[in-house]
Structure 1
Amino acid sequence: MIAALRFWPARRWLIAALVALGSTLVIAIPTALIATPIFGREIPPTWWAWPALLVSSILIGLLVASYVADPARVPTDRATTRGGWAGSLLTFFAVGCPVCNKLVLLALGTTGALTWFEPVQPFLQLLAVVVLAWALRTRLRGELACRIRPEEVHV
């Protein structure tokens, strides 16, 4: 995986950094990890919320950047795209306030959110990191697997 990253041009690294920053903001603002007058939290963030969000954001940035540059070189795989979306969504639910999430409240109620959902949040984050890492690893392995462009193949 690291070998594939060594060949990345500066443009891809810039996109990875921008997407990582953007995904951090897109998740941190509505989950009220960043205080705003629009969103608030009933329960303070856990000690692991920020480190977990930063790890996920870096993986999201690298994954998105893996789709940039030469699309003919790496085929797009729907599974890795879905993995990126799933990992991002899992991170959103994992770092968010358990009683501030309307979907969780509708499904479980306040008591259920605190009793059932809050203890599961660290596992959701772990699953998010695993899914994002798998998707990134799959994309990067594809970059190393075949360095021949289709137009270079003479049959």
Structure 2
Amino acid sequence: MNRSRTRIAKSAVVGAGSFVLFGVVTGLIPNPLYVRMVPRTALDYLFLALTAGFLGLYTFQRTPASQREDGAATASAVLGFLAFGCPICNALLLALFSSSALMTYLDPLRPLLGAVSVAFFGGLLYVRSQRTCEVCVDQPSGSPSE
């Protein structure tokens, strides 16, 4: 019972922490350190909340035996970050492309990137939940589960 409370607390901290961190870094949470140069939209907040929530759920389901899916989770988080982040405020993207190219080509694709990120995270969590349920069914009834 104590292990499950620890897992719940850890996943809640990861979800809330990533929401605050990503929100401050992208300017979706207004702060004096960073000024967002592109208007905030409802989709930005939706993708921020979904990405943070999925990171929390992923942390809850994560076990040492399932670490090979960490790359898929990282890719989903990066796509989510690109979906709600300010395209012309991202220093890496700005170094690779011009601001006009980012606004012309990347900005219209941000909702699609967010949808792909949500689909990847949703699929990953679905596959993990199916695997977890199969493990639960295979365990003897007297064994404590994690």
Query: Does TM, normalized by the shorter one, top 0.5?
Result: yes
Alpha-carbon displacement from aligned partner over 1:46-78 (angstroms, at most 9, x marks no partner): 22111221112111101111125xx5xxx3141
The one of the two structures with greater contact order (alpha-carbon pairs below 8 A, sep at least 6) is: 1
Counterpart of 1:102 (choices 71, 75, 91) is 91
Q: Offset of 1:29 from its aligned partner?
A: 1.1
- Cα offset, 1:36, TM superposition: 2.1
Identical positions, percent: 26
Provide the rounded CA distance (Å) in 2 between the counterparts of 1:110 and 1:99. Answer: 6
- In the TM superposition, what whole-angstrom CA distance separates every residue of 1:21-41 from its partner, at most 9, and x where no partner exists? 011112111111112222221
Contact in 2 for aligned 1:94/1:121 (Cα 8 Å): yes
Q: Is the counterpart of residue 76 in structure 1 residue 69 in structure 2? A: no
Partner SS for 2:42: coil
Distance 1:36 1:145 in 2: 46
* Worse overlay, 90-99 or 9-18: 9-18
Kindly indicate whether residue 127 of structure 2 is the aligned counterpart of residue 132 of structure 1: no
- Distance (whole Å) between structure 2 residues aligned to residue 18 and residue 85 of structure 1: 18
Q: Distance in 2 between matches of 1:62 and 1:93?
A: 20
- The correspondence for 2:26, drawn from 31, 37, 52, is 31
TM-score (norm 2): 0.83
Segments of 5+ residues of structure 1 without an aligned counterpart are 1-7
* Greater helix proportion: 2
What runs of 5+ residues in structure 2 fail to find an aligned partner? none
Is residue 2:52 matched to residue 1:63? no
TM-score when normalising by structure 1? 0.79
Q: Distance in 2 between matches of 1:108 and 1:119?
A: 15
Alpha-carbon distance in 1 for matches of 2:42, 2:67: 35
